[in-house]
Structure 1
Amino acid sequence: MSSLSLLWGSVVHRPYVYAFLTCFLVFAVRHLGVRRMLLFWLPTHLVAFACEYSSTRNGFPFGPYRYFDDTRGQELWISNVPFFDSLSFVFLSYFSFVLASALVGDVARPVSRAIPWIGGVLMTILDVVIDPVALQGEKWFLGRIYDYPYRGFYFGVTAANFAGWFFLGFVSQALFQLLRSAFGWARAPLPPTGRLFVLGCFGVYAGIFLFNLTMTVIIGDHRLAMASAIVTAGTLAAIGLGLRQRSLRRAPDLPSGAGGA
């Protein structure tokens, strides 16, 4: 099969991934402009693939695991890693990055050294809800994707996996800050963003939680659903309170039709 056919197979098999990726494109182009959006996307995707490729061979940084290739020939794979998996980290890292920037105080000037640390934590918390239900993908339309050589402490997910998510979130966001400072065109000021933009990003971040929580309820894992609901509610409440205190009180709304450079 051609690469385009396999890529289309990825869309058919993983429509939720491409729905969230579309959200990334809409928000990131508005926030960063096309070139800086690509400056976030491409390095993050490459780093994510490198982490997946490395972990399936030597265990760094997610710990050892393996992918089942049941869908090889139906969707796009790069070596032994399904394309959609490393692609997902692009929007997961971006929305964590925006919320971290808002919590620090200014989405239009995401230069604080604290942002990758906070963003890495926000991305890792997403995984607390994502991976336990993804590990049971054969019970829903995700399918059997991967497994660990041993059962992890949190509903089968290992501590190393969570550490790897933080590592990837931190590295991808710090790398974007570094690349922005390295190129004159990328250092140009970002267009101002208002409270509606931040609320939209918060909504997508919440949507990632709620999609995975919904799948957990559908497969009937009530213990995991309860734990994921507590994580989701607590995280969204904490972020919402932080945004209210730091960003939303000060950020002006933009007039209709304002766009990024």
Structure 2
Amino acid sequence: MRLTGRRMLLFAALLLFLAGYLVVRFDAPDMPAAVSVLFLLGLALPSYVAVIRWLGAARGITLLVLLSLLPLAVEAYAVATGIPYGRFTYSPHLGYPLFDLVPWTVAFAYLPMLLGAVTLASTAVGTAWYRLIPAGALFLLLIDLVIDPAAVHAGLWVWMDGGVYYGVPASNFAGWVLTGVVYVALVLLIAGRNLSSGRPAPGMVASSLLLILAFWAGYLTQNGLVIPSFLGAALFLATCLVIFRDAPFRR
């Protein structure tokens, strides 16, 4: 990844921050659902391309498909039963709900955050499974402490029983840690030697997370959600450092 490409990524992040801060209003009644759908797909694409460049087509596509469909199934089960996250429902703005439970776009919303968490964790603690798996789950928890309050404030999903952290219950965060351990372990398993040889994931695998954090940090700042906005800014800076490190792709 040349420096010009990194600068373009930072420029896109700046635009997304400004959009979240100045432009985007989720309470607009005439906002078509297609806007949210295209937005989620566009944010996911940079990390998807980076994963395939990193792992090759076969393993890269396997990882993308498995870790898109599995979280989608878990989310559907959670909406139906309240396990493992708690009782909640999704807004229709996120796209057509599969089985009247979960929008199909969730398949593209979660994976970029998982990939970013694995990249940050592998840089911070190395690639040994006994360090990477808990660290990856911890980074996922930190990311959700940013994303969930923003999405609840925006009305993208609603927690039936509320919660002490900006309306989000503690059960949700426990569920993110539990599922995060499983998902990070699956990434490690599929990536194989690319992630078990001691070299962290390439920084650009976290490129979608950078864009997601930039957008929601702008939205959180505009709406005065202080704790998640500061945490989002800290994670954004950490992701920038990882992306700008000298870590070329290896096949």
Provide TM-score, normalisation by structure 1.
0.70
Per-residue deviation, residues 227-255 of structure 1 (Å, max 9, x unmatched): 123212444556778x69xx95xx5x54x
Give the alignment partner of residue 90 of structure 1, picking from 101, 111, 118: 111
Q: Which residue does 1:230 correspond to in 2?
A: 230
Give the alignment partner of residue 87 of structure 2, picking from 64, 67, 78: 64
Number of positions where the alignment pairs a residue of Structure 1 with one of Structure 2:
218
Q: Which residue does 2:98 correspond to in 1?
A: 78
Distance 1:189 1:39 in 2: 14
Q: Which residue does 1:147 correspond to in 2?
A: 158
Q: Helix, strand or coil for the counterpart of 2:180?
A: helix
Which structure has more relative contact order (CA 8 Å, sep 6+)? It is 2
1:210 aligns with 2:237: no
Offset of 1:71 from its aligned partner? 4.8
Q: Helix, strand or coil for the counterpart of 2:105?
A: helix
Offset of 1:95 from its aligned partner? 1.5
Offset of 1:166 from its aligned partner? 2.0
Would you say the 8 A contact 1:17–1:88 is kept in 2? yes
What code does the residue aligned with 2:106 have? D
What code does the residue aligned with 2:120 have? L
Q: Which residue does 1:30 correspond to in 2?
A: 53
Offset of 1:11 from its aligned partner? 5.3
What code does the residue aligned with 2:231 have? V
Gaps spanning 5+ residues in structure 1: where?
1-8, 138-143, 181-185
- Judged with a 3 Å threshold, the aligned counterparts in structure 2 of structure 1 residues 156 and 30 are, in CA distance, closer, same or farther, namely same
RMSD over aligned Cα atoms: 3.3
Alignment of 1:173-252 (within 5 A): 173-178=184-189, 180=190, 187=192, 197-198=202-203, 200-201=204-205, 204-218=208-222, 221-222=223-224, 224=225, 226-236=226-236, 248=245
Give the alignment partner of residue 124 of structure 1, picking from 141, 144, 158: 141
Offset of 1:215 from its aligned partner? 1.7
Would you say the 8 A contact 2:210–2:239 is kept in 1? no
1:19 aligns with 2:42: yes
- Judged with a 3 Å threshold, the aligned counterparts in structure 2 of structure 1 residues 196 and 147 are, in CA distance, closer, same or farther, namely closer
Distance 1:122 1:195 in 2: 15
Q: Which residue does 1:50 correspond to in 2?
A: 73
Distance 1:11 1:34 in 2: 29
What code does the residue aligned with 1:210 have? A
Q: Which residue does 1:41 correspond to in 2?
A: 64
Gaps spanning 5+ residues in structure 2: where?
1-31
Would you say the 8 A contact 2:112–2:208 is kept in 1? no
Over alpha carbons, which structure has the higher Rg?
A: 1
Per-residue deviation, residues 131-177 of structure 1 (Å, max 9, x unmatched): 1111122xxxxxx4321121211110111111222222221121233
